[in-house]
Amino acid sequence: MIRFGPSGHSASFYAEGHKHTPEAAKWLRDKGLNAYEYSFGRGVSISQATAEKIGAEMREYDIALSCHAPYYINLAHESDEEVVKSFGYIERCIEAVKPMGGERIVFHPGSASKGRAAALQLALKRTEALLKRLDGGGYSGYILCPETMGKKGQLGTCEEICEMCRLDGERLIPTFDWGHINAYYGGSLKSAGDYRKILDYVFSRLTERQARFMHIHFSKIQYGQAGEIRHLDLTDTVYGPDFEPLAGLLKEYKMEPVVICESRENMAEDALKLKAMYENLL
């Protein structure tokens, strides 16, 4: 089943008097959404009681929960000691999503500012070590989702993310952030053919499960020389990308991704718009 939902809370969630994430489950279901991404972008801090409450509500209303790991994770750092800190942040994410009922942990692979090829080799080595460490620490059973990135200085082109995911066909599932991809290449996603080229590459490089059930981030994103500048909402007509061509391909390729909308302020409303675009094809 394909799922749609927001990353974080829409302005309207707060405007309607809601304050806390457990209240979001019913709110999302009533709108017709069935996924939600919880951000630990600035750090993993949540009480066990709150995590359990969120988990109970999300289960009750059948909302698939994923989480976004801290932005400062860097598997391409030259220092092994620094990388061990990143491993620790991912373990803390797993500990947090366990009671929340989540399975997918999205993370940014790291910095490529000192050269892409070397950064990728480091990230591959560290991802292998991370998977081993998670097994040894009783953290298996969770899915790590390295994300395609939007800035030139970051590791995470489509090819780099596929290379990382090839290390484990079960526990690594790519996050394709199409706004990031479009921003990285200065507006490369215009036609269905532009999306198709990337999807064909993914299906040729990864397992069917990794490709069909990929994690998706979607929003329109302003970009410049160095790539991503800021997230917009779906009313943007300048930067893109447009979701319609991708929606057609998701259907054609019989994909069942979790589609998380990362629009500014109106992420839930925009997630519904994405869902409507997809359903209009049926």
Size, binding site for Zn ion by CB under 5 A: 1
The CB-of-108 to Zn ion minimum distance in angstroms stands at: 6
3-state secondary structure 233-244: CCCCCCCCCCCH
Site for Zn ion in 121-160 (CB under 5 A): 147
Nearer to Zn ion, 22 or 150 (CB): 150
Strands 110-111 and 154-155 come out as antiparallel
Instruction: Kindly give, in sequence order, each residue whose CB lies less than 8 Å from that of residue 210, ignoring residues fewer than 6 positions away.
Output: 165, 169, 172, 173, 174, 202
Pair 34, 48: CB distance under 8 Å: no
Nearer to Zn ion, 105 or 162 (CB): 105
Residue showing the smallest CB distance to Zn ion in the complex:
147
The CB-of-13 to Zn ion minimum distance in angstroms stands at: 20
Nearer to Zn ion, 147 or 194 (CB): 147
Token code pair at residue 10: 């829409």
The CB-of-84 to Zn ion minimum distance in angstroms stands at: 22
The CB-of-73 to Zn ion minimum distance in angstroms stands at: 10
Longest CA pairwise span in the chain (Å): 51
Please state, in angstroms and rounded to a whole number, the distance separating the CA atoms of residues 92 and 72.
Answer: 14
The CB-of-231 to Zn ion minimum distance in angstroms stands at: 10
Strands 258-261 and 215-218 come out as parallel
Nearer to Zn ion, 53 or 158 (CB): 158
Nearer to Zn ion, 57 or 111 (CB): 111
Site for Zn ion in 201-220 (CB under 5 A): none
Please state, in angstroms and rounded to a whole number, the distance separating the CA atoms of residues 221 and 136.
Answer: 39
Give me the residues that bind Zn ion (CB under 5 A), please.
147
